[in-house]
Chain A
Amino acid sequence: MIPTPQTCRIRLFVVLCVTIAATAGPVWSVHSDPEDLFEMSLEDLMSVEIGTVYSASKYHQKLSEAPSSVTIITADEIRKYGHRTLGEVLRSAPGFYTNNDRNYEYVGVRGFRRPGDYDTRILLLVDGHRTNENVGDSPLFGPQFVLDVDLIDRVEIVRGPGSSLYGSNALLAVINVVTKDSKALNGLELSGEVASFDTWKSRITYGNRFDNGLDLLVSATRGDSEGQELYFKEFDDPATANGLARNDDATLHNLFLRASWGDFGLIAAHTAAEKGIPTAPWDTVFGDGRTRTHDDTTLIGLTYEREISETLAFSARTAYGHFDYDGRYVYDYSEDETPYIVVNKDCWRGRWWDSELQVTARPFEKHIVTAGGEFRYNIRQDQANWDEEIYFDDSRHSKNWGLYVQDEYRVLDNVTLVAGVRYDRYDTFGGSTNPRLAMLYDLCDKTTLKLLYGRAFRAPNAYELYYHDGGYSQKAPQGLDPETIETYEMVLERALAPNLSATLSGFYYVMDDLIDQHEDPDDGLLVFTNRDKVEATGTEVALHGRWTSGWRARTSYSYVHAEDTETGAILANSPRHLAKLNLIAPVLKDTLFAGLEIQYNGSSKTLAGNRADDFVLTNLALTYRSPSKRLEIAAGLYNLFDVKYGYPGFGEHAQDTIEQDGRTFRIKLTYRF
């Protein structure tokens, strides 16, 4: 290999890490005072969570032992910060940022979310089941997400590549959403909320653990919003209502069931969400209420977990996924005095079965071996676009499988090596092999150093492979290769006190063969190709504290520099600086809590080469729970200081930046019977 500046940088990075590991271990050792644990009451001791995470290695392990940089956000935090969508939950995690085009909510990780991509490089799981749909590979983070956020028990965020265990899409992060069971709710709960812009939402949930061992939670949610009148200066013309759009409305339906009985677990989740699109994308008619999207997601998953012996555990899961997307886009083809309005219809139909078997064993004393196989059958991957004539109608089905193995080897008392590899085979392009290597080193008392290397891939999806519009502006490619990412990361974790921990990480990643739309010089048509290469370097510093008095704090700063390797250009929609502070303060002991979020989002480049300004967003929530824990009243003020800010628009938008909400409120009432 010819040494390039990149490989030099990697080497420097590795040398640095090794030096620190070699020198720091035996010398530095500090004792924080664990004595105060003996001062704690039993009640307090029983309320301390011992952080464990499943997603990073597919078995439950402590955070410091996970071979990745991991953040966990619990239901309690979601409630006390008044988060309304999964996107808002993720936005509080180090290195994460969101976009909202007033149709969908998108999530960027570590400087990567190019305008127009559908978050296909993030794998979103619910209780271990994949939720990225199988036509365009997108997870949904806004109201279209398959669960009501109130039903989330915790969100496990694993940064970095996860393909060595999870296969495709796990490039930037694997997010596993764990749902609540009857431990969270024993009985009936009713919840209602009202928010700005005539937004209403109600939920009914019932949870119980029956004598025969059946654990059940069922829930239904419905919500709707009138939306607000929005002004877009790009459309400030008498012909387009002076830039005022009134079609920001939304409706939402959720159904959820979780049951577990013995070693079996079942979840069934369904969401139907509809949204008016006020931004008039794709040159549609401005302000027309018929331009809207409807997304319908269903996920049914069955798991079976069995501990065969002390050293052998077995698990199996199978899931059926169902995704319908229907878009209606109104076009005005009127000429002179002849009105001619056409509603263009765009739809995706995805159906899939996904099954996985996994064995975790401790064949020798110092090894934990995880091995498994996954088979996915895409029953339908259909796309169509039509109005008065059919432009595109494509039906596909495909299958893919993967085999993986990972060994966690405790070399010394304070050194653990994790090595894993997964091979995936696709009908569409062939095979992809993705390894992961990690070294976890307990440097000194309560300090863990993690050195991580990983590779991940994303298979080209049906949309990229087959979409065309009959040779009008876009054609289908001859075939595509998977895109890949390679990352090098160092994470330093330190428990500063029993209640306070710090994390520092530095990372470098290269994404190659990125699938992108470009113009074919031969015929001038747009076509997806494997062309771009992106490189990024960055650091994250985070502090996390929780105290038995009820105080909790999270703060982080991330810096990332992501550029296109060919051109040296900084990526669009890639804020260099992100800083956040999340604070929960007990106002009245055990009953009233204040949750404060302050998020700084650095400026980022827009598609037109301008800049979306940096901004500071402040959200404040107050949560009161009666001493009997039956009644809960929550009030939230979002964008407390009414800051004007916007996210970069996408290629389909006339808006270079899309302005976001000013100050809004939400009041929520929940009662348990």
Chain B
Amino acid sequence: MPRAGNETICHVSRDKMTDENAMRIGAFILLLLTACLVLCGTPVAVRADSTATQEYRLKAAFLYNFILFVDSERLDAPEKNAKNNDPNRPILVGILGKDPFGDAFDPLENREVRNRRVAIQRFRGFGEYADEEGRLPEQHPHLERIQHCHVLFICPSERQHIVRILRPLGGRSLLTVGDTPGFLEAGGIVNFVIEDKKIGFEINTMAAQRARLQIRSQLLRLAKRIVKTDAFQGPNDERNDGGK
């Protein structure tokens, strides 16, 4: 009859199956061990901290590129009015919140960007400064040090505190980079997005202007979205098709 399944198994005598099994298991173990050795390589220094995911290794590389494509007085030359007027003063990249980068910035520490070293400064998340009743301080206890950074990455852990973090930075010439939906609308300058499993970014040009940052066209062209939101005016957003 049509479509009547006729599933038959071919019969073959069962000879020396046990030996074969033993050999198979042996071969299997050997293969696994070899593979483990090959895959894991020789022992190298053990790291205690967790290592970064591929996503944050990429985002670290993005941050490095942002430094290249954003101009400001502070980035171009060491601040002339700073007390510590050292031409070797590094470009400071602040990471605020639960750091997802792990060791992703390690290769950058020995590298020069705009003829200057890069140094990473990590700040604890806003939520960690809540008092016993859960009340949060008005501003980050290390605000002054944060203001000294050239780039500030605000981790996804700070999702609920973004406005509180950004507001006191308003007048500073500092590139704020977020990793949270709504970051630009809250006054941030650059925000990471993931589209199609690929990392992209969006830019708030109005916020950049306020921070006296010139974003080069190479960066603007690649932005997935350009937003012109002033914290005090209505939003005005447009889809950026320049790069497509």
Cross-interface CB contact of B44 among A26, A30, A469, cutoff 8 Å: A30
Are B4 and A526 closer than 8 Å at their CB atoms? Answer: yes
**CB closest residue in chain B, given A502:** B39
- Within 8 Å of chain A (Cβ to Cβ): is B242? no
Question: How far, in angstroms, from A97 to B107 measured CA to CA in the complex?
Answer: 43
Question: How far, in angstroms, from A447 to B37 measured CA to CA in the complex?
Answer: 12
Question: What B residues does A246 contact at CB under 8 A?
Answer: none
Question: How far, in angstroms, from A541 to B36 measured CA to CA in the complex?
Answer: 12
- Within 8 Å of chain A (Cβ to Cβ): is B81? no
Are A116 and B5 closer than 8 Å at their CB atoms? Answer: yes
Known contacts A20-B36, A24-B40, A568-B17: does B198 contact A474 (CB below 8 Å)? Answer: no
**CB closest residue in chain B, given A570:** B12
User: By CB atoms of chain B within 10 A, which of A9, A52, A445, A608 has the most?
Assistant: A445
Question: What B residues does A605 contact at CB under 8 A?
Answer: 10, 12
Question: How far, in angstroms, from A570 to B43 measured CA to CA in the complex?
Answer: 43
15 A-B pairs with C-beta separation under 8 A: A24-B40, A46-B200, A50-B58, A282-B4, A464-B5, A469-B1, A474-B4, A502-B39, A506-B31, A526-B4, A532-B9, A539-B28, A564-B9, A568-B14, A571-B10
Are A30 and B40 closer than 8 Å at their CB atoms? Answer: yes
Q: How near does chain B come to A237, taking the closest CB pair, in angstroms?
A: 23
Are A327 and B3 closer than 8 Å at their CB atoms? Answer: yes
Q: How near does chain A come to B180, taking the closest CB pair, in angstroms?
A: 10
Cross-interface CB contact of B10 among A310, A445, A609, cutoff 8 Å: A609
Question: What B residues does A29 contact at CB under 8 A?
Answer: 40, 43-47
Cross-interface CB contact of A569 among B9, B33, B197, B200, cutoff 8 Å: B9
Q: How near does chain B come to A309, taking the closest CB pair, in angstroms?
A: 11
Q: How near does chain A come to B224, taking the closest CB pair, in angstroms?
A: 9
Are A444 and B40 closer than 8 Å at their CB atoms? Answer: yes
Known contacts A20-B32, A29-B45, A541-B35: does B7 contact A651 (CB below 8 Å)? Answer: yes
Question: How far, in angstroms, from A28 to B17 measured CA to CA in the complex?
Answer: 37
Within 1-44 of B, Cβ neighbours of A (below 8 Å) are at 1-14, 17-18, 21, 24-25, 28-29, 31-33, 35-36, 39-44
Are B7 and A492 closer than 8 Å at their CB atoms? Answer: no
Q: How near does chain A come to B42, taking the closest CB pair, in angstroms?
A: 7
Known contacts A48-B58, A498-B57, A651-B7: does B196 contact A183 (CB below 8 Å)? Answer: yes
Binds B, one of A35-43, A169-177, A222-230, A260-268: A35-43
Cross-interface CB contact of A28 among B24, B35, B40, B197, cutoff 8 Å: B40
Known contacts A29-B46, A329-B2: does B25 contact A9 (CB below 8 Å)? Answer: yes
Binds A, one of B60-68, B86-94, B139-147, B202-210: B60-68
Q: How near does chain A come to B74, taking the closest CB pair, in angstroms?
A: 22
**CB closest residue in chain A, given B17:** A568
Within 397-432 of A, Cβ neighbours of B (below 8 Å) are at 413-414
Question: What A residues does B28 contact at CB under 8 A?
Answer: 506, 537, 539
- Within 8 Å of chain B (Cβ to Cβ): is A202? no
Question: How far, in angstroms, from A12 to B32 measured CA to CA in the complex?
Answer: 13
Q: How near does chain B come to A198, taking the closest CB pair, in angstroms?
A: 28
Interface secondary structure of A, over-half rule: mixed
Known contacts A116-B5, A568-B14: does B198 contact A48 (CB below 8 Å)? Answer: yes
Question: What B residues does A115 contact at CB under 8 A?
Answer: 7-8
Question: How far, in angstroms, from A197 to B57 measured CA to CA in the complex?
Answer: 50
Interface of A toward B, CB cutoff 8 Å: 5, 9, 12, 16, 20, 24, 26-31, 33-35, 37-38, 40-43, 45-52, 62, 114-118, 136, 183, 281-282, 310, 327, 329, 344, 346, 385, 391, 413-414, 443-447, 463-464, 467, 469, 472-474, 490, 492, 494-496, 498, 502, 504, 506, 516-517, 526, 532, 537, 539, 541, 561, 564, 567-572, 605-609, 650-652
Question: How far, in angstroms, from A136 to B3 measured CA to CA in the complex?
Answer: 10
**CB closest residue in chain B, given A183:** B196
Binds A, one of B48-56, B120-128, B130-138, B171-179: B48-56
Q: With A20-B33, A48-B58, A474-B4 given, can you name 17 additional A-B contacts, CB distance below 8 Å?
A: A28-B41, A30-B44, A33-B107, A46-B199, A115-B8, A116-B7, A385-B2, A446-B51, A464-B5, A492-B32, A494-B39, A504-B31, A506-B31, A526-B4, A526-B6, A567-B11, A569-B10
Question: What A residues does B10 contact at CB under 8 A?
Answer: 569-572, 605-609
Question: What B residues does A444 contact at CB under 8 A?
Answer: 40
**CB closest residue in chain B, given A40:** B61
Cross-interface CB contact of B50 among A414, A469, A650, cutoff 8 Å: A414
Q: How near does chain B come to A9, taking the closest CB pair, in angstroms?
A: 6
Are B62 and A42 closer than 8 Å at their CB atoms? Answer: yes
Q: How near does chain A come to B142, taking the closest CB pair, in angstroms?
A: 25
Are A45 and B108 closer than 8 Å at their CB atoms? Answer: no
Q: How near does chain A come to B6, taking the closest CB pair, in angstroms?
A: 3
Question: What A residues does B197 contact at CB under 8 A?
Answer: 49-52
Known contacts A492-B36, A537-B24: does B43 contact A652 (CB below 8 Å)? Answer: no
Cross-interface CB contact of A650 among B6, B32, B107, cutoff 8 Å: B6
Question: How far, in angstroms, from A502 to B6 measured CA to CA in the complex?
Answer: 39
Question: How far, in angstroms, from A444 to B51 measured CA to CA in the complex?
Answer: 10
Question: What A residues does B194 contact at CB under 8 A?
Answer: 50
Question: What A residues does B161 contact at CB under 8 A?
Answer: none
Cross-interface CB contact of B2 among A26, A38, A344, A517, cutoff 8 Å: A344
Question: How far, in angstroms, from A607 to B5 measured CA to CA in the complex?
Answer: 13
Question: What B residues does A50 contact at CB under 8 A?
Answer: 54-55, 58, 194, 197-199
Question: How far, in angstroms, from A56 to B61 measured CA to CA in the complex?
Answer: 30
Question: What B residues does A606 contact at CB under 8 A?
Answer: 10
Question: What B residues does A329 contact at CB under 8 A?
Answer: 2
Q: How near does chain B come to A168, taking the closest CB pair, in angstroms?
A: 17
**CB closest residue in chain A, given B222:** A42
Question: What B residues does A27 contact at CB under 8 A?
Answer: 43, 46
Question: What A residues does B64 contact at CB under 8 A?
Answer: 38
Cross-interface CB contact of B195 among A183, A413, A568, cutoff 8 Å: A183
